[in-house]
Structure 1
Amino acid sequence: MTMTRRSLDDIKARADEFADAFENYSPKADDEDAALPPLMAVRLAAWRRDASESELAEAVHTARHQRMSWREVGEAIGTSGEAARQRYGSTI
């Protein structure tokens, strides 16, 4: 599986798209008794992922402004400080 790197702006835009899709979703009569439709489940999972990525980026931004080192940030998110800096450094 290939991971695509997204900017914070890309993540926020995608989260907004998913939020709009959820707000505009109207279940059909036959959806009421069914489990979450598979496509909606995928959309929901993608929205949650984008929302958490956005939340994490914001937390890193806050931590860095409070003088937390990249090493500390990396340890907190389970990676190296250099990897954290490469991923989130351009968003600060």
Structure 2
Amino acid sequence: MTRRSIDDIKARANEFADAFESYNPRPGDHNAPLPSAMAVKLAAWRRDVAERELADAVQAAREQRLSWREVGEAIGTTGEAARQRYGTRVTS
């Protein structure tokens, strides 16, 4: 592998930035399939975001005094399962 200088790296980064800024999508680009590894990474990121949103919503529900049974029903599980999963995160 060839070692690159900081100036070489900056020049290449500027080339990428220019290409990005001047990119004009072609018809069908928005439907182009993702490479498999990128699709997995994107799905994992979406799952993480959804889990954080759900945990925040559970915390808000508990702060509003919803029972664990009600929380469990809302997410499709039992109250006990919801408490075990999210109980350590909430303060109520």
TM-score of the pair, normalised by structure 1: 0.63
Query: Which AA in structure 1 matches 2:54?
Result: L
Aligned counterpart, 2:69: 71
Partner of 1:44: 42
The corresponding residue for 2:17 is: none
For residues 52-91 of structure 1, what are the alpha-carbon distances to aligned partners after superposition, in whole Å with 9 as ceiling and x for unaligned? 0010000000000000000000000000000000000000
Post-superposition, which runs of at least 4 consecutive aligned residues in structure 1 deviate over 3 A?
none
The share of aligned pairs that are identical, in percent, is 71
Aligned-partner Cα distance in 2 for 1:70–1:35: 41
Deviations 1:14-66 (A, max 9, x none): xxxxxxxxxxxxx9xxxx96521110000000000010001000000000000
Which structure carries more relative contact order (alpha carbon 8 Å, separation 6+)?
1
In our comparison, the structure showing a higher alpha carbon Rg is: 2
Partner SS state of residue 33, structure 2: coil
Q: How many residues are aligned here? A: 62
Any unmatched runs of 5+ in structure 2?
Answer: 1-19, 21-25
TM-score, with structure 2 as normaliser: 0.63
**Alpha-carbon distance in 1 for matches of 2:38, 2:74:** 32
> Which residue pairs with 1:56 in the alignment?
54
